[in-house]
Amino acid sequence: MVLKTRDRFIEVARQLFARKGVENTTMNDIASASDRGRRTIYTYFKNKKDIYEAVVDSEIDKLIRSLQLIIAKPESAEEKLRQYVVVRMQTMYQIVERNGSLRAGFFRDLRKVERARKKISKREMVLLRDILEEGVESGEFCIKDVTRMAVLLTSTIHGLDVTYIQDALSDKGLDQNMLTDSLCTILLNGILTRN
């Protein structure tokens, strides 16, 4: 399938950013690797920052699409929430791994991280709210304020991104699978003993 010109520029830019880093990639590099002229790239993007933002947005869209597929499944709300946590963490890991040098530059600039996180958060809160509302309606979940809970769950999951991506708790006996399983257990069951 032939990618549209704009999408082609975004994918080529992503690959170049991942391999060479954003700072070391020029608009000429992107145009040349796309087999297009420099003028053509400027009809779609004002500058390198603009195409960089498009690359980040494209990666966010991939994440959101994978999460939307879970919500559309004919599963229980509990199972959807479990799958959501696992798929979200795995997908973020894959995005970061696929983007090599882009990853290093991205994580050095906390403003970039925060801007991307805000974009993701807004969309994820809606998806999580949908799962939680479904769970309340089916009687699976007892939640007084679904919107606030969606905000809290989104923040909790985001707070573990770097830990999961770096597999930072494996030395403490929590590999990536155990981390997501434990997170799901806490989210769904809490830590209180029930009578």
Q: In this predicted model, what pLDDT tens digit does every residue of 120-158 receive, in sequence order? A: 889 999 999 999 999 999 999 999 999 999 999 999 998
Using CA atoms, how far apart are residues 16 and 30, in angstroms rounded to an integer? Answer: 7
More confident residue, 2 or 84: 84
Q: Give the C-alpha separation, 180 to 164, whole Å.
A: 9
How far lies 16's CA from each of 4, 9, 93, 129, in Å? Answer: 18, 10, 19, 36
Token duo for residue 122: 């807004």
Give the residue extent of every domain in the chain. Answer: 56-189
Q: State the average pLDDT for the chain.
A: 87
3-class secondary structure, 45: coil
What is the CATH topology of the domain spanning 56-189?
Tetracycline Repressor; domain 2 (1.10.357)
pTM: 0.83
The string of DSSP codes covering 90-142 is: HHHHHHHHHTHHHHHHHHH-HHHHHHHHHHHHHHHHHHHHHHHHHHHHHTS--
Q: What is the pLDDT of residues 70-102, one digit of tens each?
A: 999 999 999 999 999 999 999 988 887 877 655
pLDDT at 191 (0 to 100) = 64
The residue-averaged pLDDT of 11-20 equals 90
Judged against a pLDDT cut of 50, whether residue 2 lies above it is answered with no
Can you tell me which residue has the tokens 């498009």? Answer: 54
CA pair distance 123, 65, nearest whole angstrom: 11
